[in-house]
Structure 1
Amino acid sequence: MTSPLPPEAVPSAPGVDAALAPAEVSRVQRRTVWVLSFGQILGGLAFGATVSLGAVLAAEISGDEAFAGLAAAAVTLGTAALAVPLAAFARHRGRRISLATGMAIALLGVMLVVLAVGLASFPLLLVAFGLVGAGQAANLQTRFAAADLATDATRGRDLSIVVWATTIGAVLGPNLTGPGEVLGQSVGMPPLTGPYLITVVAQVLAILLYVVALRPDPLLLAQRVVAAARASATAIAKPDDPRVARYAIFAIAAAHGVMVSVMAMTPVHLIHHGASLSIIGLTISLHIAGMFALSPVFGLLADRLGRVPTIMIGQALLAGALVTASFGQESTVAVTVALVLLGLGWSATTVSGSTLLTEASSEAMRTRRQGFSDLVMSLVGAAGAILAGVVLSVIGYGGLALAVGVAVVATVLLSPLARPAKSATALVDG
């Protein structure tokens, strides 16, 4: 599958819009990656600070610790529900408006969280966290925005840089709860809502960044480039390959389901084996680092080795994680190593799978499939987290790790589907 936007296909003759010249498109792409990366830092910061207290607030307002997990569930369902509408919005209005809208909805959600705590309203709290999910849906969309103007040679790298930027916000966000609470108390906010002041600031900055700095809009410019290329004598019609796209969506969702299922149950397992909260926190932090810190490496591998080979590397890492977790479940060190491998496998699969999905989809279908992929990914993650608890109670942590390995095996066995169809060949116009 070749690039939907090869620079050589972009007309550069006199009289053609200078904004579509290859050098200008390349410059815009570099700027876009930086803007999206900073947006991911702000979005991750806001999301991390918001969700880190979600379970505590849910238990506090509901009066029952059994409802603590509903906050995360509401965020996940909100992310799933808004992924497709935001993708459709991007298709018609561009990434700039879509991403800013997602962040604005999340900002409204954060404000409603504070109101819900003040009113001690649990239903309103769940609605608020559902709206916060819009921010996560926007964060997921940014990786696809990084690929709008990218070429074959750099698409994996550009996408992975934006994914990597998530690391900063994801790590810093939860650690701002202490200073945020002190700040909140100084201005008379309800208990446990102070960190949301930081979230509000981060969300506002993210909205302003996208509205002001994401110009020209990468998706709208990409559409102009495609239109100009089709009108030129050298235009190349890029076929759509739904079979490859379906495999990419499956690989992304399967890896996410495996990761969430095991990760969500790890703190419970470690507590039952006497691990301290600090050890549990370190384990999860290293897992998050595995998810994002090396994503540029996997982006480069996807560009150099290919998208499917890198997905297979991801499956090997996931398999190693599951085997380590299963047979080393009595060892805190082994479980920590397993969580790191789990994050790395997720990263390799998500980066290369997202790149493959973009390349397998025609310009008309791309944003639709990207939104659908984020929807499926979120729903599988939510289902995995819920079902993992049931599986854990029946066959234990080691059994859970081996059970979800079915998804890894399926991803490997279905990989031949990622071969481009024989009919999917480039057609030269004129």
Structure 2
Amino acid sequence: MDTTNHLIKEYVESPEKLKRMYKKVLMVVSLSQIFGGAGLAAGVTVGALLAQQMLGTDAFAGLPSALFTLGSAGAAFIVGRLSQRYGRRVGLTSGFIAGGLGAIGVIIATLINSVFLLFLSLFIYGAGTATNLQARYAGTDLADKKQRAKAISTTMVMTTFGAVAGPNLVEVMGKFAQLFNIPSLAGPFILSAVAYIMAGCILFIMLRPDPLLLAKAIEAHQQQQSDGIAPAITFSNKKGIIIGAVVMILTQIVMVAIMTMTPVHMQHHGHSLGAVGIVIGFHIGAMYLPSLVTGVLVDKVGRTAMSIASGITLLLAGLLAAYAPSDSMFILIVALSLLGLGWNFGLISGTAQIVDSTEPSSRAKVQGTIDVFIALAGASGGALSGIIVANSSFTTLSLIGGILSLLLIPVIIWYRKA
């Protein structure tokens, strides 16, 4: 313990060493995000198709998305609390390992044809999604205010490599699974299990010293130097937390709802599993790849402007998805790419707002709590999407999503007036 305190003191007293540590944290988190991105892609791409196959109906096709998103809500809370108490290393490692175990459970469920085990495993698998999102905060722990959005975007853009590769490996992993008499739709979950466990191992081995514990030590050192007590979160800080949370919650509902039912919509109109993988690959690429540019824009143009841009982009995505000809893969790619881009704008601007409004002493706990609401919002979007499509159409779902995204604009205006 004394050795740890001595190391932390070295970073506190040496700005240059702290700067190098900040770069190391970004590198380690980014590396874990490559694997984490590959892990989350399986559930997104084939989760709905797997449920449709095992249950024999479209009405519950949105349930897998709801389950692993609901699971991610519980995991976000636990990972946030673990991170606050023991540091990012312990919290994030635990979440990724749990996600990997959930993916293994999905594979076993398909082998024994157990719907109960499938749903339970998807719930646990959601821990990987939550952890993948929470990892974005780790990069900001040692960043100053002018670097925060860029730090978020750096870790997120690395997710692209795994997240885009995942859906495009659907057919390959399906054939690989069949070699072992595993149903082809369970194949991508083999990739998820390996990827999530690898992400957890990378963080556990390489994320030393822990960035959040180091940020807390710096905060304590600054308090000691000034002989004062750091102020608690003020009313205006709470407003910042509220607006950041609302932006991320609304964008999550719209994105998850439309994304979840796109594979089912495509299969109904004769598109192959490979085509589904390509469309979802473009969508996930648009969720993460623009992050570096988005991060710079959020830092330069401002959190508010980019939040409004998120609402407008999601509206365009909803309208395009609603009126795209069912046989036009190109327009579906554009629509789902816009959907990913709008989510990207909302997540980075909202996350930056949350980081701006919290202190290291409470940051991970607040972030974990907010991610719970984001996950619950996604679960609601996933569950309702199947019901809406079963009772109406994919067009109706897309229009509802586009209109809902417009709520971001009055929320932003209210915040600016307040």
Is the TM-score greater than 0.5?
A: yes
**Are positions 1:43 and 2:40 aligned together?**
no
Change (3 A) 1:248 1:329: farther
Amino acid at match of 1:408: S
Distance 1:124 1:170, change over 3 A: same
The two structures, once aligned, show a CA RMSD in angstroms of 3.1
Deviations 1:307-333 (A, max 9, x none): 111112222222332344445567834
Contact 1:301 1:310 in 2 (8 A): yes
1:243 and 2:236 aligned = no
For the Cα contact (< 8 Å) 1:143–1:159, is it kept in 2? yes
Task: Report how far residue 82 of structure 1 moved.
Answer: 1.4
Alpha-carbon deviation of 1:196?
4.6
TM-score of the superposed pair, with normalisation by structure 1: 0.84
Residue of structure 1 equivalent to 2:218: 225
| Contact in 2 for aligned 1:325/1:401 (Cα 8 Å) | yes
* Aligned partners of 1:49 and 1:175 also within 8 Å: no
SS in 1 for 2:407: helix
C-alpha distance in 1 between matches for 2:362 and 2:174: 45
1:200-228, Cα deviation, whole Å (9 max, x unpaired): 43233222211110011111111001111
How far is the alpha carbon of 1:406 from its aligned partner?
4.1
Which of 348, 351, 354 is residue 354 of structure 1 equivalent to? Answer: 351
CA contact (8 A) 1:325 1:398 kept: yes
Q: How does 1:108-257 map to 2 (within 5 A)?
A: 108-180=101-173, 188=180, 190-192=182-184, 196-233=189-226, 237=230, 240=233, 241-257=237-253
Distance 2:95 2:267 in 1: 36
For 1:24, the aligned partner's letter is K
Pick closer, same or farther for the CA change 1:361–1:298 going to 2, 3 Å: same
Of 406, 411, 416, which aligns to 1:409? 406
Q: Deviations over 1:26-56 (max 9, x none)?
A: 2111111111111111112233246644445
User: 1:317 corresponds to which residue?
Assistant: 313
Change beyond 3 A, Cα 1:172–1:92: same
Mapped partners of 2:16, 2:315: distance in 1: 43
**Is the helix fraction higher in 1 or 2?**
2
* TM-score, normalising length: structure 2: 0.86
Long gaps (5+) in structure 2:
1-6
Count of residues paired in the alignment: 406
TM superposition shift of 1:144: 1.1
> Higher mean Cα deviation, 264-273 or 358-367?
264-273
Corresponding residue number in structure 2 for 1:426? none
Match of 1:42, SS state, is helix
Q: Max radius of gyration: which structure?
A: 1
**In structure 2, how many angstroms separate the alpha carbons of the residues matched to 1:178 and 1:65?**
22
Determine the structure 2 residue equivalent to 1:17: 9
Gaps of 5+ in 1: 1-14, 422-430
**Aligned residue for 1:94?**
87
Q: How much has 1:394 moved relative to structure 2?
A: 6.0
C-alpha deviation, 1:113, in angstroms:
2.9
Indicate the residue corresponding to 1:28 in structure 2. 21
Identity %: 33
Structure 1 residue 250, shift from structure 2 partner: 0.6
Query: Counterparts of 2:135 and 2:360 in 1: how far apart (Å)?
Result: 17
Greater mean alpha carbon deviation, residues 355-364 or residues 329-338 = 329-338
